[in-house]
Structure 1
Amino acid sequence: MGKKSTVILGVALVVILAAAGFLYTRLAPGVQHDQLAQEPSQSEGSTSSSSSQQASPAPAFPMEDAQGNTVQLSDFLGDKPVFLNFWASTCSPCKQEMPDIQALYEQYGDQIHFVLVNVGAAMKDTREKAESYLTEQGFTFPVYYDVDYQAITTYGINSFPFSIFIDAQGNLVTYGQGMLSAELLQKGLNLIAPDVVPAP
Structure 2
Amino acid sequence: MMKKISFLIGVFFVFSTLVTYAQVLPDVKVENTRNEIISTKILVDGKPFILSFWGVTCKPCITELNTLNELLEEWREEVDFNIVAVSIDDSRFTARARSMAKGFGWDFICLFDKNQNLKRAMNVSLTPQTYIVDGNGKIVYSHSGYTPGSELELLEKLKELQKK
TM-score interval, smaller chain = 0.7 to 0.9
How many aligned positions are there?
Answer: 146
In structure 2, the CA distance between the partners of 1:161 and 1:125, relative to structure 1 (3 Å rule), is farther
Deviation at residue 70 of structure 1 after TM alignment: 1.1
* Residues 10-89 of structure 1 aligned to structure 2 (within 5 Å): 25-26=19-20, 56-89=23-56
Structure 1 residues 135 and 156, CA, compared in 2 at 3 Å: closer, same or farther?
A: same
User: Deviation string for 1:125-175 (max 9, x for gaps)?
Assistant: 712211222233232222010031101010011100001111112211111
Unaligned runs of 5+ in 2: 1-13
- Rounded to whole Å, the distance in 1 between the matches of 2:92 and 2:128 is 13
Match of 1:140 among 74, 92, 107: 107
Q: What corresponds to 2:130 in structure 1?
A: 163
Q: Please state how far the C-alpha of 1:183 moved relative to its aligned partner.
A: 1.3
Counterpart-to-counterpart distance in 2, 1:72 and 1:117? 13
d(CA) in 2 for partners of 1:171 and 1:133?
29
User: Which position in structure 1 is the counterpart of 2:161?
Assistant: 192
Alignment equivalent of 2:61, drawn from 69, 87, 94: 94
**C-alpha root-mean-square deviation of aligned residues, in Å?**
2.9
- Are the structure 2 counterparts of residues 85 and 105 from structure 1 closer, same or farther at C-alpha, using a change threshold of 3 Å? same
Which ranges of structure 1 fall in alignment gaps of 5 or more residues?
1-17, 28-55, 196-200
Distance 1:24 1:125 in 2: 31
> In the alignment, does 2:84 pair up with 1:115?
yes
- Per-residue deviation, residues 61-105 of structure 1 (Å, max 9, x unmatched): 111101111111111214111211101121011011122211343
Aligned-residue offset at 1:58: 2.4
- Which piece of structure 1 moves more, 182-191 or 88-97? 182-191
Using the alignment, how far apart are the partners of 2:106 and 2:84 within structure 1? 13
- TM-score, normalised to structure 2, is 0.75
Q: 1:118 to 1:168 in 2, by over 3 A?
A: same
Secondary structure at 2:47's aligned position in 1? coil
Aligned-residue identity in percent: 20
Paired AA for residue 36 in structure 2: N
Contact 2:47–2:82 under 8 Å retained in 1: yes
Aligned counterpart in structure 2 of residue 177 of structure 1, from 136, 144, 160 = 144
Q: How far apart, CA to CA, are the structure 2 residues paired with 1:174 and 1:95?
A: 20
Tell me, yes or no, if the aligned pair for 1:86 and 1:119 is still in contact at 8 Å. yes
For residue 102 of structure 1, give the secondary structure of its aligned residue in structure 2. helix
Residue identity matched to 2:104: Q
The correspondence for 1:154, drawn from 110, 117, 121, is: 121
Q: TM-score, normalised by structure 1?
A: 0.63
Q: Distance in 1 between matches of 2:52 and 2:41?
A: 15
Distance 1:174 1:66, change over 3 A: same
